[in-house]
């Protein structure tokens, strides 16, 4: 099936607007988490922890892959989606790989939070909470995009 065989059909504005809001919220979380990581890099008790270093590597990889995703880069400035191909790009391999890195980063952060010396650090607590919120947001984005993509495909097949 060729791309020219597809008809342009506007996506439901409110549904896609919700996804855009979640993406913007995600970017806000990422920026706040980077600020916390910066502060924690100055705390030798945390910064020298191998788990914190592993967390930082995976979180940084998550953020880089998320930012390099063609769909997410285009969607932040988009108002409407006219073709489900763009929805598929929003769930491209970079986004899925980013989600895996975020999960691995959260696992390492969980190990840091179990360390009695490190878990009382207020920035570690805040970072742990922020990562949990980011994970929830990432899951909502992916679920909403999958639902939009399925809906878009069904509409296309009916045409």
- DSSP letters, 101-117, are HHHHHHHHHHHHHHSTT
Q: How many Å apart are CA 142 and CA 135, to the nearest integer?
A: 11
Would you state the pLDDT for residue 2? 41
| DSSP secondary structure code for residue 4 in this structure | G
Over range 82-92, report the average pLDDT. Answer: 62
CA distances in angstroms from 9 to 28, 88, 92, listed in the order given: 31, 15, 21
More confident residue, 32 or 149: 32
Q: What does the mean pLDDT of the chain come to?
A: 79
Q: Is the pLDDT of residue 82 over 80?
A: no
Would you state the pLDDT for residue 37? 94
Count CB-CB contacts under 10 A for residue 143.
Answer: 12
- pLDDT band, very low/low/confident/very high, at 97 (cuts 50, 70, 90): confident
| DSSP secondary structure code for residue 116 in this structure | T
Alpha helices in the chain (DSSP H): 13-40, 44-47, 50-68, 70-75, 84-90, 93-114, 122-158
Would you state the pLDDT for residue 145? 81
pTM score, two decimals? 0.58
Q: How many Å apart are CA 83 and CA 132, to the nearest integer?
A: 32
| Percent of the chain's residues with pLDDT above 90 | 39
Give the long-range contacts of residues 95-99, CB within 8 A, separation 24 or more: 95/65, 95/66, 95/69, 95/71, 95/142, 97/65, 98/61, 98/62, 98/63, 98/64, 98/65, 98/66, 98/69, 99/62, 99/138, 99/142
Q: Is the pLDDT of residue 119 over 70?
A: yes
Would you state the pLDDT for residue 13? 61
């Amino acid at each position: 099936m060729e791309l020219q065989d597809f008809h342009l059909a506007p996506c439901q504005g409110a549904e896609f607007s919700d996804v855009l809001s979640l993406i913007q919220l995600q970017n806000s979380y990422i920026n706040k988490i980077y600020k916390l990581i910066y502060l924690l890099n100055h705390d030798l008790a945390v910064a020298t922890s191998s788990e914190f270093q592993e967390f930082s590597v995976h979180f940084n990889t998550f953020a880089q892959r998320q930012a390099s995703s063609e769909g997410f880069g285009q969607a932040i400035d988009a108002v409407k989606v006219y073709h489900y191909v763009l929805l598929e790009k929003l769930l491209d391999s970079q986004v899925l790989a980013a989600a895996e890195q975020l999960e691995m980063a959260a696992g390492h952060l969980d190990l840091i939070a179990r360390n009695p010396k490190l878990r009382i650090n207020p920035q570690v607590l805040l970072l742990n909470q922020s990562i949990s919120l980011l994970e929830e947001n990432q899951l909502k984005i992916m679920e909403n995009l999958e639902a939009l993509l399925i809906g878009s495909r069904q509409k296309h097949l009916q045409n």
